[in-house]
Chains A and B, each alone.
Chain A
């Protein structure tokens, strides 16, 4: 009922009727790219504002409240300021890599974003290795942090980069294993198929206890992957200045800042897709009336509601937990999460083998 496929196809037909095939295809690509670019910018602005409001809520403050009604235009004003700001860099940095690093991060984030479905038919790239593609692409983005820290020629940046390397390589393991646990349940890597399988029940219900454990591990590892508190050692402002992006200013700094929020969005989206059925409405067995009422809410709202809950959870973590020390961080991953994850994977395999997930 709320399928976006006819709309997308309509635009496609319209493009093809206006110009030759090759040009139409190209125009389609450009259109998709523009839509994602706009989405990227809007997402950054909104999430930064929400983060500041949530922070204010947790600290019993009002948060931004001067620019626009309830401070809604604050981040837009900040963005304009950052755009107009003079880029101040260091003289003895490795200029090529220094300029390249923010783009590596942004490109990684954008590519991962392309796989995420917002509603039926609203997905740029339904590749058959979906979730694996997200994991692979975001592992390339890590290099942006490493290179930024090194190329800045600043010891705090370098320390931040090293911490980030140790942290992200460790937590990538947990994240991939948590994803793998759910892929075991789905039997497919393609995002559209994973969502389709959750039509009657979301995976968090289907997978029983292993799915809950996988969800918790995924959220912890995801927070670590996005360098957010309690895992913000790479940029720990109280000890390293700002870590790997100390030497960046103006728009380049904004890129790092934006990519953090986009990565947060991606982590939440993957969690929603894998555990809470993506844009699928909540269905309960036997409650026909309830199910039909749920079907009336458009999938895009389902997706946005679930995303808001996930994003709020991540922000809640940030303003609640103190930062971990680097040895505690590595201990948590290698001594607790990884063994738990491996056992959990076996448990899930057992459940799937016995057919208890149906």
Chain B
């Protein structure tokens, strides 16, 4: 009973903040609403007993991504800037597209038969670490390595872009 109540509370807040995040005209408020959605998501993970996942959600999405978004906004946006409001026609067709996507997602979720994993709630840190670096079935070494290579490439690219521009600027002077 209490758990169900909590679920509906979290879900209701999440829907509310998601709608607010896309309907506000101030970019930074959108970022803050998004932050709330991410924190509520972590709340769901806590409810399901996936504490580690919830911690990752809090640290990476709320503490990392949301902070980066806010910093980017700090750099480029003035406090009185407003994003343009959509026209009624745009509201209609964009709303229709979102609705179609939602229906599609719901239908496919309904048709998918979820299996309950036994013992997943009792996973320790060591389990998570081993699974992350396991090469066998259910191991995550390949995605892990692919992502690290991708991130390295992104870092190198960012440094090249940052350095290259200042060099060019110096040559022009």
Contacts and interface: CB of A to CB of B under 8 A. Distances in A.
Contacts of B119: none
Interface string B31-63: 010010001000000000001101110110011
A129 B52 contact: yes
A297 interface: no
A275 to B, nearest CB: 19
Contacts of A97: 28-29, 32
A96 B80 CA distance: 14
Interface stretch (B68-76, B106-114, B149-157, B159-167): B68-76
Interface residues of A, number: 35
Contacts of B131: none
Contact of A150 (B55, B63, B73): B73
A96 B26 CA distance: 12
Given A129-B52, A151-B79, A188-B125, A94 B58 contact: no
For the complex, would chain B's binding face be called helix, strand, loop or mixed by DSSP majority?
Answer: helix
B64 interface: yes
Q: Most chain-A CB neighbours within 10 Å: which of B54, B73, B125?
A: B125
Given A94-B29, A161-B74, A150 B79 contact: yes
Contacts, number: 92
A188 B64 CA distance: 24
Contacts of A143: 32, 35, 62-63, 66-67, 70
B51 A94 contact: no
A96 B30 CA distance: 12
Given A96-B29, A153-B79, A188-B124, A147 B52 contact: no
A135 B59 contact: yes
Nearest to A183: B125
Contact of A139 (B2, B52, B64, B71): B64
- Interface of A (DSSP majority class): helix
A26 B3 CA distance: 13
Given A22-B2, A94-B28, A94-B29, A139 B62 contact: yes
B70 A158 contact: no
Contacts of B1: 22
Interface string A86-107: 0000001110110010000000
Contacts of B66: 143
A135 B63 CA distance: 9
Given A129-B55, A143-B35, A92 B79 contact: yes
A155 to B, nearest CB: 11
B126 interface: yes
A143 B68 CA distance: 10
A172 to B, nearest CB: 8
A146 interface: yes
B74 A140 contact: no
Interface string A142-182: 11001101110100001001100100010010000000000
B26 A94 contact: yes
A129 B71 contact: no
A169 B71 CA distance: 11
A128 B62 contact: no
A162 B32 contact: no
A223 to B, nearest CB: 19
Contacts of B39: 140
Interface in A296-348: none
A100 B79 contact: no
A204 to B, nearest CB: 21
Given A92-B79, A187-B126, A142 B63 contact: yes
A189 interface: yes
A41 interface: no
Contacts of A35: none
A153 B1 CA distance: 45
A203 B65 CA distance: 33
Given A94-B29, A169-B68, 16 more contacts: A128-B52, A132-B52, A132-B59, A136-B62, A139-B62, A139-B64, A143-B35, A143-B63, A143-B67, A147-B28, A151-B28, A162-B71, A165-B71, A165-B74, A169-B71, A187-B125
3 pairs of A and B residues whose beta carbons are closest in the complex: A139-B63, A136-B58, A136-B59
7 contacts: A92-B79, A136-B56, A139-B62, A140-B39, A165-B67, A188-B125, A189-B125
